[in-house]
Every structure is written in C-alpha cells, then in structure tokens.
C-alpha cells in the first residue's frame, strides 16, 4: 500500500527527531512492502522566517490531503517576543483546529528497563506504569475568547476563556471509554468541578456517556489531587480523560514518572483516519543541534501513526518491540541515563532501533 505522509520537522530538536523517525518508517516500508511518501511542509518558527506566517495556507492544504502528519516540534526563544497569532505555537493549534483533531492520545508507559530512569521509588513503580492520557485538543481555554481590556483602577487586564459544549465533551468522553474497553476498563475523569462551571458540565456529560459503557468503571478526580496521585500511586490509573490544558500539564508529569519526556508519543485524532503524530515534548532549545535529544518519543509516535491512521498493527508493534529491545541493552540518551549505561546521541539511538527492525 502507498501512504502519503506530510512531515513537519519544525524547530529546535524537531528536525533531529523527525530524521530518525523517517529512517524507521522507510525501513518498515522495505520490510513489510509498503510505500511511504514524505512531503515536507513548513510550520512554526522556521515558517515565520521563510514566509512571515507560522502556518502557511499551503501547509494546511497539504496536511489535509495527506494520510497522516508527522510533526517534530515548534517554537523557541528566537520567536518568544512575538504575540498571539504570530507565534510558532499558533501553527500547532491552527493545524489541530483545521484538521478537526479533537482527541489527543498520550500513552505513558514505563519500560521495565527504565525503572532506574524514573524519579519514583521502586516500591511506588511496583510492576510498572501504563496510563493513557486522553486530552481534549480543540476546545477549552486554548481556543476560547481571549484579549485585553480596561479594568478601571486596576488598569489593563488580560483574559482567556474556558468553555466546553456538550458535543465537545461527549466525543472526547466516548474516545476515552472506547480506549478503556481495549485496556483495563477504567476511566478517571479529571476536572475542577468544585470551582469551574465548565467542569461541572463536563463531569455531567462524562457521566451520561458512561451509561453507554457499563463494563467501564468511571471515577472523578479534581486536577490538583490527580497531579498528586500520579506521583503517589500511579498504578491506580488506566485511562485518564481531561480538558485541553489539564491534559497538557498532566501528560508532561506522566511522562517524567516513566523516565523522561523524551519517551512519550502522541496521536491527535478526529472523525476520519487522518491524524497528526508528534512527541509530547517541545523543541528543547537547550539541547537543539547537539545530537542529544531522545528520538524515541517521535519514533513511537510513528508506531501510533501506523496503527491509527494506516491500520498497520503488525508494523506498529514491530517498531514498539524494536524500542523495547534497544532499551534492554546498555545504551541511553542523556535524558534516560542511569548508572552503568553508555551515553549515546540522537542518531545512535535511531540507528539502534533501526538495527532491531529486521
Ligand atoms: P520542551 O519539552 O521543549 O523542553 C523541556 C525540557 O525537556 C528541556 O530541558 C529539554 O531539553 C527536555 N527535552 C524535551 N524533549 C526532549 C527529548 N526528546 N530528549 C531529551 N530531552 C528533552 O519544553 P519547553 O522548554 O517548555 O519549550 C520549548 C519550546 O518548545 C517552546 O517554544 C514551547 O512553546 C515549544 N513546545 C512545542 C511543543 C510542540 O511543538 N509540540 C510542545 C511543547 C513545547
Ligand atoms: C503540547 C504543547 C503545545 C500545547 C504548545 C506548544 C502549544 O505543549 O503539544 O503539549 O500546549 O498543546
Ligand atoms: Mn505540552
């Protein structure tokens, strides 16, 4: 089969991790007899530099016509003084919105071999961590009304608005329950219903959707408690469903307890098969261009692409197995380094995964 992939290397370590992931996809194509064609498009800071816009129209058009989008990361200090719609991050939000990608799936799995890389004690890690964060991606405070206005004596104030409609909550809740059915039948809804009206509506809609899934256990947790429980007893979680901003924050936290943010992949999905796949980390300006970034989050994102957009389960599994095998050896990028391991860089890690893909 032939699959068209739009690639967005973006900024900072983005191009470095995308390069390794494309090598892996090419090898998968050879081994399993598929043709992956890549079309590189501009988004983020690099697009601002070349076109003046963070998200050129052409990029949206090409992504819409592709079978899947693979994105590295956008943003960096060079563009930090820009505001609002001029920022590189606007490209990401714009693409998520334009492609209708309302469900962001972020699996946080602790590989056995990385127990020493997790900052949590081994008795807390127990027999492992396997959490799936389901983050709403095209609504909430990220997409709500915002601006600045006068506030009398107190001067100018800035505001951002959190709003969720019944339909938006229904579809993300359904995604979470469907995923829970494939896993351990438990959904933890994370909100701030003790304070926010949007959370109270969110919670009641999640409860309605739960009635369609009697086999799945639903529990509710306030976001502050959830942040604490992730560290205290991560094993209590199976699927965690939450809003755009809470999901952003909790998934970075979940990544660290599995060893590093450099390990966590993501899939952003909508109604059809078109999806965008990206690591959850950013452009890591502090290590960009130094061959230090861990490419595994992006490599695992390509596995999610094969599974969710192309229906290639065996091929997805081959990538995940190759990563597990490599982690079973003594080589580590700096972010997952522990005693007795040998330090390697981005390219070497990509090469090791490639070697496992026979
Ligand atoms: P970041 O995720 O880029 O970096 C946070 C820390 O994690 C840094 O110390 C970095 O070196 C480390 N890190 C991140 N990815 C790593 C990897 N693959 N291997 C090893 N270490 C890794 O977050 P930040 O510093 O808050 O943001 C930097 C820029 O990236 C900002 O402009 C931000 O807006 C942007 N950003 C983009 C995305 C995206 O494109 N999806 C996501 C998050 C942040
Ligand atoms: C992420 C990032 C983005 C987000 C930023 C860069 C807009 O942090 O993908 O997690 O907040 O969604
Ligand atoms: Mn984030």
| Ligand 1 touching residue 287 (CB < 6 A) | yes
Beta bridge pairs of residue 190: 221, 242
**The tokens of 138 are what?**
């095209």
Q: How far apart are CA 21 and CA 175, in angstroms?
A: 27
Which numbered atom of ligand 1 lies nearest the CA of 297?
18
Ligand 2 mutation pick, 11, 86, 282, max ligand atoms within 8 A of CB: 282
**Residue 291 annotated as lining a ligand binding site:** yes
Instruction: Tell the burial category of 249 from Cβ atoms under 10 Å away from its Cβ (0-12, 13-18, 19+).
Output: middle
**Residue 10 annotated as lining a ligand binding site:** no
Look at residue 32 and tell me whether its pLDDT is greater than 80.
yes
- Mean pLDDT score of the chain: 98
Give alpha helix (H) positions in the chain: 14-32, 45-51, 57-65, 89-98, 122-125, 166-182, 197-210, 223-232, 244-257, 296-308, 313-327, 346-356
Going 231 to 319 to 94 to 177, the CA torsion angle's sign is negative
Predicted confidence at residue 156, as pLDDT, reads 97
| Ligand 1 touching residue 282 (CB < 6 A) | yes
User: Is 142 a known active-site residue?
Assistant: yes
User: Is 330 a known active-site residue?
Assistant: no
Predicted confidence at residue 1, as pLDDT, reads 87
Predicted confidence at residue 358, as pLDDT, reads 75
Minimum CA distance residue for ligand 1 atom 30: 282
Which numbered atom of ligand 1 lies nearest the CA of 285?
28
CATH fold of 119-257, please? Isopropylmalate Dehydrogenase (3.40.718)
Which residue has 């595994």 as its token pair? 296
User: Mind listing the pLDDT tens digit for each residue in 39-61?
Assistant: 999 999 999 999 999 999 999 99
Measured torsion, CA atoms of residues 30, 31, 34, 35, in degrees rounded to the nearest 10:
-20
Per the CB < 8 A criterion, the answer to whether 8 and 72 are in contact is: yes
Ligand 1 mutation pick, 71, 283, 294, max ligand atoms within 8 A of CB: 283
Q: Do domains 1-105+267-358 and 119-257 have the same CATH topology?
A: yes
What share of the chain in percent tops pLDDT 70? 100
Beta bridge pairs of residue 268: 104, 276
**The tokens of 82 are what?**
């820009």
Look at residue 127 and tell me whether its pLDDT is greater than 80.
yes
Task: Given the residues 23, 90, 164, 192, select the one marked as catalytic.
Answer: 192
Which residue has 């820009």 as its token pair? 82
Minimum CA distance residue for ligand 2 atom 11: 248
| Ligand 1 touching residue 297 (CB < 6 A) | yes
- Rounded to an integer, the average pLDDT of 242-271 is 98
DSSP 220-234: EEEHHHHHHHHHH-G
pTM score, two decimals? 0.98
User: Mind listing the pLDDT tens digit for each residue in 344-358?
Assistant: 999 999 999 999 997
Quote ipTM for the complex: 0.99
**Residue 67 annotated as lining a ligand binding site:** no
Determine if residue 284 is left, alpha or beta; phi over 0 gives left, psi from -120 to 50 gives alpha, anything else beta: left
User: Mind listing the pLDDT tens digit for each residue in 198-221?
Assistant: 999 999 999 999 999 999 999 999
Checking DSSP bridges between strand 68-73 and strand 239-242, what pairing results, if any? unpaired
Would you list the domain boundaries of the chain?
1-105+267-358, 119-257
- Rounded to an integer, the average pLDDT of 297-321 is 98
User: Mind listing the pLDDT tens digit for each residue in 76-93?
Assistant: 999 999 998 999 999 999
- Rounded to an integer, the average pLDDT of 240-254 is 98
User: Is 181 a known active-site residue?
Assistant: no
User: Mind listing the pLDDT tens digit for each residue in 278-291?
Assistant: 999 999 999 999 99
Predicted confidence at residue 137, as pLDDT, reads 99
Please state which CATH number belongs to domain 1-105+267-358.
Answer: 3.40.718.10
| Ligand 2 touching residue 320 (CB < 6 A) | no
| Ligand 2 touching residue 280 (CB < 6 A) | yes
**Residue 121 annotated as lining a ligand binding site:** no
């Amino acid at each position: 089969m032939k699959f068209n992939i739009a690639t967005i290397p973006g900024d900072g370590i983005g191009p470095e991790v995308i390069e390794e992931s494309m090598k892996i996809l090419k090898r998968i194509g050879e081994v399993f007899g598929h043709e992956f064609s890549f079309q590189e498009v501009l988004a983020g800071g690099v697009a601002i530099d070349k076109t003046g816009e963070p998200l050129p129209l052409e990029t949206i058009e090409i992504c819409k016509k592709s079978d899947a989008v693979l994105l590295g990361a956008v943003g960096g200090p060079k563009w930090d003084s820009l505001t609002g719609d001029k920022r590189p991050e606007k490209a990401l939000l714009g693409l998520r919105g334009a492609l209708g990608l309302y469900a962001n799936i972020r699996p946080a799995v602790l590989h056995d071999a990385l127990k020493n890389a997790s900052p949590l004690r081994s008795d807390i890690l127990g027999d492992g961590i396997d959490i799936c964060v389901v983050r709403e991606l095209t609504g909430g405070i990220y997409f709500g009304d915002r601006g600045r206005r006068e506030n009398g004596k107190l001067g100018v104030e800035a505001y951002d608005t959190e709003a969720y409609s019944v339909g938006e909550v229904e579809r993300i809740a359904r995604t979470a329950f469907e995923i829970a059915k494939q896993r351990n039948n438990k959904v933890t809804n994370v909100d701030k219903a003790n304070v926010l009206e949007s959370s109270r509506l969110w919670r009641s809609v999640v409860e309605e959707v739960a009635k369609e899934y009697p086999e799945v256990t639903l529990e509710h947790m306030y976001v502050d408690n959830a942040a604490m429980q992730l560290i205290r007893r991560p094993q209590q979680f199976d699927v965690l469903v939450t809003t755009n901003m809470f999901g952003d924050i909790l998934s970075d936290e979940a990544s660290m307890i599995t060893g590093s943010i450099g390990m966590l992949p993501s899939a952003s999905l909508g109604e059809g098969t078109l999806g965008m796949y990206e690591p959850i980390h950013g452009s890591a300006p502090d290590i960009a261009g130094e061959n230090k970034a861990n490419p595994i989050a992006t490599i695992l994102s390509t596995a999610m692409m094969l599974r969710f957009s192309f229906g290639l389960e065996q091929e997805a599994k081959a990538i995940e197995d190759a990563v597990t095998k490599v982690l079973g050896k003594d080589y580590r990028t700096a972010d997952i380094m522990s005693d007795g391991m040998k330090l390697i860089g981005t390219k070497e890690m990509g090469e090791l995964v490639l070697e496992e893909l026979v």
